Amino acid sequence: MADESLFEFLHMEMVSHVFTEQQSSKGEMDNKDRAVCISVLEAMGFRVGQGLIERLTRDSPSFKDELDVMKFVCKDFWTKVFRRQVDNLRTNHQGTYVLQDNKFSLLTQLSNGKEYLDQAAKYLAFSCGVVRGALSNLGLESVVTAEVSVMPSCKFQVVVQKL
Amino acid sequence: MSRQSNRSTDSKKMNSELFTLTYGALVTQLCKDYENDEEVNKQLDKMGYNIGVRLIEDFLARSSIGRCQDFRETADVIAKVAFKMYLGITPSVTNWSPAGDEFSLILENNPLADFVELPDNHNTLIYSNLLCGVLRGALEMVQMAVDVKFAQDTLRGDNITEIRMKFIKRIEENLPAGEE
């Protein structure tokens, strides 16, 4: 068992490392540099998500369809990784899903309102990657983005890519 | 402590996999960012230090442990309370120096290094070096300057994983001149 606060501190250090690394090599940061940082964090999350889902689905039966996979992610996966279930899952039945978490664990320590909203993206990139990595190993290629209007509530949008 | 007890053991275990894998992703990224292992070791130590200086507050608040009387007590608290609380393991404390200012923590299984194999071209990488930084940073916040390093590591072919800690000095609190 590892403690959750340890993970939270580690996550913060990761975010700040990736950003200072990019900044020191360039001097000033523009939007493009920020996008690079976000994608580095996302890629780290992706690998973690892949590993986690392998461990988690070891004993579970196979899934019927896409919705079944999404339900698993919202319930079991979310509980194991973010320590609560997704509060609301919505879909247009065409491959787009919106997962709403009203108390997202990595945001609860940051703010309870609109303060620091501009910083939220950095602290969600890793988690987006985790979700994308998990779905990827369950056979769903997707694009995962996160959107925050008031912390600590957060909406993850998953768009499944049709092959 | 209450927020721990209402979680099932299973979910705690999963948490530790999340932590282990995340740490692995971080080390991988650092190896990409820096050219040599020494730089990576240094960076891990620095990040650990940053974590340690904050983690100590969390630790003191949750454990309600007061000031340690001597280095032996410090060693006990680190091994039996802190490691237990944050990593779920209890390393053994051995190899005390005669002066009582140096000891070793022996880690039976290192949770940071689960599922890890070091490739041949990284034989000077101290994979879990973050831990050294954490210990150093945390102790510095309670006025103890300590030197922490990995003496042995199973990842690099040793039989055990050993962290060596050496007490350097007590950090005097900075009182303004003329006040006691």
Distance in angstroms (rounded) separating the CA atoms of residues B101 and B165: 8
Contact A11 B22 (CB under 8 A): yes
Which residues 68-97 of chain A have a CB within 8 Å of chain B?
Answer: 79-81, 83
B chain contacts of residue A10, beta-carbon cutoff 8 Å? 19, 22-23, 26, 51, 130
Across the range A133-145, mean pLDDT stands at: 95
A chain contacts of residue B30, beta-carbon cutoff 8 Å? 17
Per-residue pLDDT at B71: 94
Contact A17 B47 (CB under 8 A): yes
Sheet holding B92-94, edge to edge: B92-94, B102-107, B161-170, B144-152
Chain B nearest C-alpha distance from A116 (Å): 20
Contact B13 A11 (CB under 8 A): no
The ipTM estimated for the assembled molecules is 0.92
Nearest one of B44, B59, B56, B20 to B131, comparing CA atoms = B44
| A92 pLDDT higher than 90 | yes
CB-based burial label for B51 (10 Å; 0-12, 13-18, 19+): buried
Contact B25 A48 (CB under 8 A): yes
CB-based burial label for B86 (10 Å; 0-12, 13-18, 19+): buried
Q: What is the pTM of this model?
A: 0.90
Please, which pLDDT band fits residue B178 given cuts at 50, 70 and 90? low
| B6 pLDDT higher than 60 | no
Distance in angstroms (rounded) separating the CA atoms of residues A58 and B51: 33
Distance in angstroms (rounded) separating the CA atoms of residues B145 and B171: 6
Per-residue pLDDT at B175: 62
Q: Tens of pLDDT along A38-77? A: 999 999 999 999 999 998 888 888 888 999 999 999 999 9
Per-residue pLDDT at B174: 72
Per-residue pLDDT at A109: 86
Query: Where are the strands (E) in chain A, listed by range?
Result: 88-91, 96-101, 142-147, 154-160
Chain A nearest C-alpha distance from B96 (Å): 28
| B9 pLDDT higher than 50 | no
Contact B33 A21 (CB under 8 A): yes
Contact B12 A1 (CB under 8 A): yes
Q: Please, what is the average pLDDT of chain B?
A: 88
B chain contacts of residue A80, beta-carbon cutoff 8 Å? 11, 14-15, 18
Q: Tens of pLDDT along B35-75? A: 899 999 999 999 999 999 999 999 999 998 988 889 999 99
From the candidates A9, A50, A78, which should be mutated to test the interface with B, based on the most B CB atoms within 10 A? A9
- Dihedral sign from CA coordinates of B131, B91, B28, A85: negative
Q: Tens of pLDDT along A105-117? A: 999 888 898 989 9
Q: Please, what is the average pLDDT of chain A?
A: 91
A55 touches chain B (CB under 8 A): yes
Please, which pLDDT band fits residue B15 given cuts at 50, 70 and 90? low
Comparison of pLDDT for B132 and B13, the residue scoring more: B132
Least confident interval from A107-116, A121-130, A138-147: A107-116
A26 touches chain B (CB under 8 A): no
User: What count of other Cβ atoms lies within 10 Å of the Cβ of residue A28?
Assistant: 6
